[in-house]
Structure 1
Amino acid sequence: MLARLLIFRSLRERPLRMLLSTFGIVLGVASILAIGVTNRAALASVTELFADTSGKSNLIITSAESDASGFNDAVLARAERVPGVGLLAPSIQLTTVLAEEAPPAEIALSFMGMDQGGLSLWGIDPAVDGQVREYELVNGRFLSDLPAADEIVLVDTFADEQSLAIGDWVEITTPYGIERLRLVGLIAEQGVGRQNNGAFGVIPLETAQKLFDRPHALDQIDVIIKTPDAATTQVDQLKTDLQSALGPDYSVLFPASQSERMVQMLGNYQIGLNFLSGMALFVGAFLIYNAFSMTVIERTREFGMLRTIGMTRRQVIRHVLSEASMLGVLGSALGIGLGILLARGLATILEFVLGQQLDLIQLPIDLMITSAVVGILVTVVAAAVPAWQAGKISPLEALRIRGANEEGWLIRHGWTVGLALLLLSTVILLWNPFPYDAQFRLGSVVVVALFLGGTLIIPASVGYWERGLRLAVRRLYGNSGLLGSLNIQRARMRTTLTVAALMVGVSMMIVVWVMTESFKGDLEAWLEGYIGGDIYVTSSVNMRADMGRRLQSVEGVTAVAPIRYFNVQWAAPDGSEEDILFMAVEPAEYSQVTTFVFNDILQDADAAAAMTQLAQGDTVFISSVIAEKYNLQPGDDVQLFTKTGWQPFKVAAVVVDFYNQGMVIDGSWLDMRRHFRLSDANAYMIKVEPGASVTTVKSRIEALLGDRYHLIVESNSSIQERISVLLDQAYSMFDVLALISMAVAFMGITNTLTMNVLERIREIGMLRSIGMSQQQVVAMVLAEAGVMGVIGGVIGLVFGIILSRIFLLSMAAMSGYKIAFILPASQVIAGFVVALVVSHLAAMFPASRAARVRILDAIQHE
């Protein structure tokens, strides 16, 4: 009981300091919880979407060619004969638009790419598909068992948006005209109804094959194993048996594998968020250490008296750690509340990244408990050294007015350990022995070691910094400023931790800024080619080849270049087989509108020769990501699976391409038609005549062709502006976390200077008594803050530049993204200015408090 009363009294007597100290834990816990909650919601959203799509199926069968042509339904009979197969649900998956639906005014953008919208329409076998997928009927009936009925079932929210009711005729667009289907039922936007954000419908399989001229074609077969609740080994065995029976022309996959690329992309984005939130908590620990170190010094007499009346060293240590635990509980509780609010903001950002809504209704209790435990543990660990120092106080020290602030071994000799950590961590990060550490866990530990090494070097260098800045301090703050400058050496541990907090904050800001600018630099250069020309035309359905001639005939158009994307299977050099994206272009027309961004600086003649090779056929360009990841270069061969089997293609050049996370191969229109039997286009890039108005030409295309062919027409400048906004939104959370680190540093400086003022009340009173004015007292405190701001700012800039360089190298090693390092001089200067501004703003309250000290009260102060 007595111990608890002492704890509450201590916290009550120093409320401001404890609140400032707790603030770091609040922000750290909030960051960890917010990112954890949002990560889980995002991953759940992605995996549930694919789980809803695949329903109860254990396996899926697709074409190994991965293109839009699918495979013959004769494979159903072959699959049925494989032992262990219980149910097969064939489907054909199409994209169309309602005939009366106006095309969107702009292309929907997300980090997954461009979304042309439209209606996702699946042809299914009504007799068996309901046993695989969940269809929650809310009105009308489901599809009849008639194999070729002209019926359709839509998601109720989509039908409401389009003002469609049961019994209405729904007119859809096919490549061969407009067809009518009777709306017989509405399903809820649940289960498979979540597909395409609710813009989804189902029709009978034979009807789909007939309307879209794909007789006997299938895109996917869902497989349910015969044995209910089959063990994983049984499913694995059936997968092997099916693959063996069907042969290399087909791929037998687990349903979850469909979401792997999206989950991988999301994981890469979250690595940075997790690291920055950890750094915020790391800096928060400095505040706790500072607060309890000062508390131990101030309460030397109290601890000494407690020792005198019989309290043991262990009890004193337990007493201090109990105070820390209470602060940790308070900080964690507040952090959980703030984390819930932060999670909502981060979820909004990730909704832009994923292009779909996230559900944050349920807050995971385990994450809340984990965040709270981490906050409490960090608080207790940070207070462990001050607690141990309190336990060392002897009863004789109760006679002292204030304890001595003795410098420990780390202050005097820690620079040797710091230098070793600094060199070792830098070498490890540059050497990068863990390039395939997907979550960057080992890298994060080494980065923390880098910061710790820099922190341990600070005490030994404080004197050099002070002497180097002495002249500037005198000019800015006068002679009283020199006293403040000298004061940073009086409590070097406190100065060290404050400077370290500022150092981490500035470093994080520089890392975020450099990474953002570097990525934007390469991305903008790529976008100029990828979305080249002046106008971009696409549609929810693939466009026939004659669309190019129609666009070319529009007044003001000087060149039109078609583009076709489709998935293709390739044999990677490491022996694996995976799906990548093939982008087919007509080289001659493409060169009139835009150009590829070649990875190496090629002479015009070399670039022209590469384009000539591409036009001749059996030649491809590979992205820099693939080249880096698999160590490929011009002259090498890559194997792609075509309609005639595996086909070698010569690599003519390496180009910058970030689409589909860089897993892209560029080929010619000739090769697409010859080897993949495709002739339609996904999009057209248009260049207008010199002097012609892009807006005017765009309006002409919309008026002549837009509604008739359901074209989405947008100027390239508009697309690039919206992509820039999307990037800013994606990186805004990194900015928020960097600002959190700076906020923690702000609190650290305020905390340290407040402690310094309280520790030197009598000294300030003596200075005032011999003539120092209030303005000079303020200058003295501001000078101390300014010196700490310069030290933290300069070291933070250096560490930030080094880390951002290392991060770019690590990104290239882990994912193949080789991004040019861009160091924005204006933002480097801004980072230093921010450090100075933050340090001076944080010093305002302590400086004001010091200036208001009354001389008589100060002289009597203990």
Structure 2
Amino acid sequence: MTLWRHFTWPAWRDQPGRVLLAVIAVMLGVALAFGVHLLNGAALTEFARAARGVNGQPDLVLTARSGPLTDADLVDLLNRPEVAAANPVVEAMALWPGQVGPGGRGLSIRLIGLDPLALLASAAAGRPLAAELTPQVEGGPAALLSPHVVHLNAAARKLLPGGATQLALRLPGEGTPRDIELAIGGRVAADNTPLGVLDIADAQALFGRVGSLDRIDVQLAPGVDATAWTARLPARWLATPPADTGARLSDMTRSYRVNLGLLALMALFTGSFLVYAVLSLATAQRLAQWALVGVLGVSARMRWRLILAEGLVIGLAGTALGLALGVGLAAGALKLMGSDLGLHGATDSSAELLFNQPLLLPALVYAALGLAATLVAALAPALTVRRIAPALVLKGLGLPAARTLPAWAGLALLAVGASLAWLPPVWGDTPVAAYAAMFFLLMGGLALVPALVQLMTALLSRLPAGALLLLARERSRDQATEARRSLAGVLVALALAVAMTVMIGSFRESLMRWLDQALPADLYVRSALRGANGIPTPLPPPLLTALSRLPEVARTSPQLTARLRLASSGETVALTARDIRAGGLPLVERWTGAAAEGTLAVWVNEAARDRDGLKPGHVFQGELVDGGRALKLQVRGVWRDYSRQNTALWMALDDYRRASGDTSTAELALWLAPGRSLESARTAVRQLGGDNVEMAAAGELRALSLKIFDRSFAITVWLQAVALAVGLFGVIASQSAQALARKREFGLLRHLGLSRRQLQRLLLIEASLSGGAGALAGLALGLGLSVVLVYVVNPQSFHWSMEMHLPVARLAALVGLAFAAAVGASLLAGRRALGADAVRAVREDA
């Protein structure tokens, strides 16, 4: 404490700015990482809680293998002694006229019919089927019995005009859609999208489905084994465990959350180099004092501990502030994006969600990460102070020769990184090995910087030898390791910025090409009405005929989406039936072998290939959910799918219609006739379909997709800017430290006859060598990291492949900025050191 009070504290008090910057660097890193963790946890907590509010906690969910359930199925189920409670459910999607959803399309509201008596019975037994729904309905469960009354959640109430007591909706019908009007009842605390709850009998009548049910939520009697009971059910029933929507969201967003968390930790990683730069500068400024206290009896171990203590104080201050700021950032993000990470766009968010999750353990983890980063950053300056020879330093001989790793160690690190990149992901779709590969590549590149500097110095030997060139060459050869230390921050920041720039540029370019292939038509039309499963309802046949005969339209191509249950996993996936000849598929793999006998051709996306093993040529069984027909399918190719991360299939429309007997059309692609404008086609379609259809031009869909893409990756641009700013300041601080340590050397050179301008030229040559090495190394490392991101991380995380695209202009700007900053920082630091009188500097040395 005595040394701290009389040695460290006065130095910090005289230079508070640098210490404050180090604290801010740690604070920002911890705040971003902790805030992202809290936001992710709040999103999952809210989504799972909202889902439980409607679905409750049934043991099993009973559906029909084909078609709907009936009231007779409910009676049969209730007569079974193993069943303790059963809640019948009927659902529908209604169009909300006058409301506009994302992309300017019509907005739908989900309507659910529940049995209030079943809810009361399950609640009385202590096992509520809808734990949060039942008490939240104003007036209690009995209020659900009111006819023609809908109880709305917060997301739906946000869309109501002020003072509204009635809600007008449009439901799909067998032929013509039906308009209904419902009185607005109480509130329900469930779901993040517009939702309304009705009495089931009222819902069946309104939906035109009297006597039919979509599902029955079942609670078994105590002691009944669900697996054994399911095995004894009639073949017409299908009983499955309830879908854990919280777990499903967790799986669906795991890759997004992991990547976002690692991007946030990047700020802490680069911030550690800033801490290193600040402590290195402080060490260089106090080198004579460190040597003096060493002569006075302070041991090398005590000096080492004191530097680590300085780093620990910076880490403690930055971590404490970062944890507090992280809570604030998460709360602000909840207000800005909503508790669902923007997945639905209509949610009632509250900062209280942050405290409905465990906080102590995550706070300790991120605090430990912040402290570890600062202590590692302080380790190099601490070792430098420990290794100084006090007598030599007092004579002005500067810092001791730094230790360096041999070139083969850097090459070995690069080899380890390249090997790790080939390993598969863990925990589903998390590319842990790929991120470890990127870390080893960075460390290997840092280790090779001295060798690169020495190589560039060797090239100078072929130039005509002059005094300045000879001095620069010899110093660069002897101090190559110091170049690695001074350039570490900007090298890492530049490498990460180059990698992210190439990855984003490659992704955007690939997305644009994919959109051109996936959207070949000029205009797309589909029904604004949705079925209970959320899929657009079929367009009326008269409308299809009228659309195909419009003078503005040259040709049309129908399309529909169905649901297919995979026999291998029982998972329900999307099956799109379309005219394959209407537009080329964005294929990444193609089956060139013979077609298997008795199979239908399907094309699968990359998620189906990676998750379900549906590789080209593979034959598998599937069952149409609507209709229950079994299909024998063969994979004929794999197509690129940037619209989803889960399994999806395409099939030729003619094959689907022959296999299913379904001749409906849910979506129609229109190609304009020569000389016809898009606006005239829109007007003609609107006159025919009215509000029951929604349409989008291919150009609008492309623009919307690119807008979403740019918004999604905007945070990476800011993270690149932060990383570069931190890295550049690290260069400035490191070069300042080196220049201060060389003050007596400069004085001696001035005394020997070199002018100040000549010394500045010497610094320019040295800085160009080290800065050029850093810029080249950062570019090479960045390109290597981008290969891992493009060809490993993205396919493993999101099942999206892409082609490499190099944005040359942006890369040149990044490398030029890094080089200019390194050279400018060296010149600025040298100018300060050269400002001292040469004779005085030599006298200090004497």
Scaled to the shorter chain, the TM-score interval is: 0.7 to 0.9
Deviations along 1:282-324, whole A, 9 cap, x unmatched?
3333343444455555545544554555545543333222111
1:419 maps to 2:411: yes
AA aligned opposite 1:751: A
1:775: Cα distance to partner? 6.2
Structure 1: runs of 5 or more not aligned: 109-114, 228-233
AA aligned opposite 2:587: F
User: In the aligned structure 1, how far is the partner of 2:76 from the partner of 2:149?
Assistant: 29
1:331: which partner in 2?
318
AA aligned opposite 2:53: D
Contact 1:325–1:380 under 8 Å retained in 2: yes
User: In the aligned structure 2, how far is the partner of 1:813 from the partner of 1:747?
Assistant: 35
Contact 1:793–1:836 under 8 Å retained in 2: yes
Which of the residues 793, 807, 816 maps onto 1:824? 807
Contact 2:315–2:371 under 8 Å retained in 1: yes
1:216 maps to 2:211: yes
Contact 2:70–2:213 under 8 Å retained in 1: yes
1:580 maps to 2:573: yes
1:596: which partner in 2?
585
Q: 1:668 to 1:317 in 2, by over 3 A?
A: same
1:10: Cα distance to partner? 3.4
Deviations along 1:802-838, whole A, 9 cap, x unmatched?
2222333324356643333333333333332232244
1:376: Cα distance to partner? 1.5
Instruction: Give 1:74-93 correspondences, 5 Å limit.
Output: 74-80=72-78, 85-93=83-91
How many residue pairs end up in the alignment? 814
Which of the residues 109, 112, 134 maps onto 1:119? 109
1:432: which partner in 2?
423
2:273: which partner in 1?
286
Of 671-680 and 6-15, deviating more is: 671-680
2:564: which partner in 1?
568
1:158 maps to 2:156: yes
Deviations along 1:401-427, whole A, 9 cap, x unmatched?
45653335x41x432322222222212
1:503: which partner in 2?
491
Instruction: Give 1:293-372 correspondences, 5 Å limit.
Output: 293=280, 295-296=282-283, 299=286, 301-307=288-294, 311-336=298-323, 339=326, 343=330, 351-352=341-342, 355-357=345-347, 359-360=350-351, 362=354, 364=359, 366-372=361-367
1:784: Cα distance to partner? 4.1
User: In the aligned structure 2, how far is the partner of 1:826 from the partner of 1:778?
Assistant: 31
1:464: which partner in 2?
455
AA aligned opposite 1:154: L
Q: Secondary structure at the match of 1:514?
A: helix
Q: 1:756 to 1:550 in 2, by over 3 A?
A: same
Deviations along 1:646-672, whole A, 9 cap, x unmatched?
321233443333333151111244555
TM superposition score normalised by structure 2: 0.85
User: In the aligned structure 2, how far is the partner of 1:676 from the partner of 1:92?
Assistant: 25
Q: 1:500 to 1:70 in 2, by over 3 A?
A: farther
1:206: which partner in 2?
201
Q: Sequence identity of aligned pairs in percent?
A: 21
User: In the aligned structure 1, how far is the partner of 2:657 from the partner of 2:746?
Assistant: 86
2:125: which partner in 1?
none
Q: Secondary structure at the match of 1:659?
A: coil
User: In the aligned structure 2, how far is the partner of 1:580 from the partner of 1:279?
Assistant: 36
2:100: which partner in 1?
104
Contact 1:23–1:744 under 8 Å retained in 2: no
Q: 1:12 to 1:214 in 2, by over 3 A?
A: same
User: In the aligned structure 1, how far is the partner of 2:464 from the partner of 2:674?
Assistant: 60
User: In the aligned structure 2, how far is the partner of 1:517 from the partner of 1:127?
Assistant: 57
1:675: Cα distance to partner? 5.0
Contact 1:156–1:186 under 8 Å retained in 2: no
Deviations along 1:5-38, whole A, 9 cap, x unmatched?
0331232344444345445434432332233233
User: In the aligned structure 2, how far is the partner of 1:14 from the partner of 1:733?
Assistant: 33
Q: Secondary structure at the match of 1:640?
A: strand
Q: Secondary structure at the match of 1:255?
A: coil
Contact 1:545–1:679 under 8 Å retained in 2: no
2:731: which partner in 1?
749
1:556: Cα distance to partner? 0.8
Of 138-147 and 29-38, deviating more is: 138-147
1:689 maps to 2:673: yes
2:630: which partner in 1?
646
1:621: which partner in 2?
603
User: In the aligned structure 2, how far is the partner of 1:343 from the partner of 1:207?
Assistant: 42
Which of the residues 456, 473, 482 maps onto 1:494? 482
User: In the aligned structure 2, how far is the partner of 1:206 from the partner of 1:670?
Assistant: 39
1:739: which partner in 2?
721
1:187: Cα distance to partner? 0.8
Q: 1:156 to 1:373 in 2, by over 3 A?
A: closer
Structure 2: runs of 5 or more not aligned: 121-127, 531-536
Which of the residues 772, 779, 782 maps onto 1:800? 782
AA aligned opposite 1:803: L
User: In the aligned structure 2, how far is the partner of 1:32 from the partner of 1:461?
Assistant: 34
AA aligned opposite 1:177: P
1:112: which partner in 2?
none
Deviations along 1:337-384, whole A, 9 cap, x unmatched?
654566578765784455455655536454444323211122123323
AA aligned opposite 1:464: L
User: In the aligned structure 1, how far is the partner of 2:211 from the partner of 2:659?
Assistant: 21
2:533: which partner in 1?
none
AA aligned opposite 1:577: G
User: In the aligned structure 2, how far is the partner of 1:786 from the partner of 1:345?
Assistant: 44
1:231: which partner in 2?
none
User: In the aligned structure 2, how far is the partner of 1:223 from the partner of 1:420?
Assistant: 59
Q: Secondary structure at the match of 1:102?
A: strand
1:495: Cα distance to partner? 1.6
1:720: Cα distance to partner? 1.0
Which of the residues 92, 112, 128 maps onto 2:118? 128
Q: Secondary structure at the match of 2:577?
A: strand
Q: 1:39 to 1:701 in 2, by over 3 A?
A: same
User: In the aligned structure 2, how far is the partner of 1:482 from the partner of 1:53?
Assistant: 79
User: In the aligned structure 2, how far is the partner of 1:706 from the partner of 1:662?
Assistant: 33
User: In the aligned structure 2, how far is the partner of 1:160 from the partner of 1:662?
Assistant: 31
Contact 2:520–2:698 under 8 Å retained in 1: yes
User: In the aligned structure 1, how far is the partner of 2:151 from the partner of 2:428?
Assistant: 46
User: In the aligned structure 2, how far is the partner of 1:657 from the partner of 1:809?
Assistant: 16
User: In the aligned structure 1, how far is the partner of 2:163 from the partner of 2:417?
Assistant: 66
AA aligned opposite 1:400: L
1:397: which partner in 2?
391
AA aligned opposite 1:818: S
1:551 maps to 2:547: yes
Contact 1:143–1:203 under 8 Å retained in 2: no
User: In the aligned structure 1, how far is the partner of 2:452 from the partner of 2:722?
Assistant: 27
User: In the aligned structure 1, how far is the partner of 2:615 from the partner of 2:302?
Assistant: 68
Q: 1:145 to 1:769 in 2, by over 3 A?
A: closer
Contact 1:300–1:402 under 8 Å retained in 2: no
Q: 1:771 to 1:673 in 2, by over 3 A?
A: same
TM superposition score normalised by structure 1: 0.83
Q: 1:665 to 1:138 in 2, by over 3 A?
A: closer
1:241: which partner in 2?
229
Q: Secondary structure at the match of 1:599?
A: strand
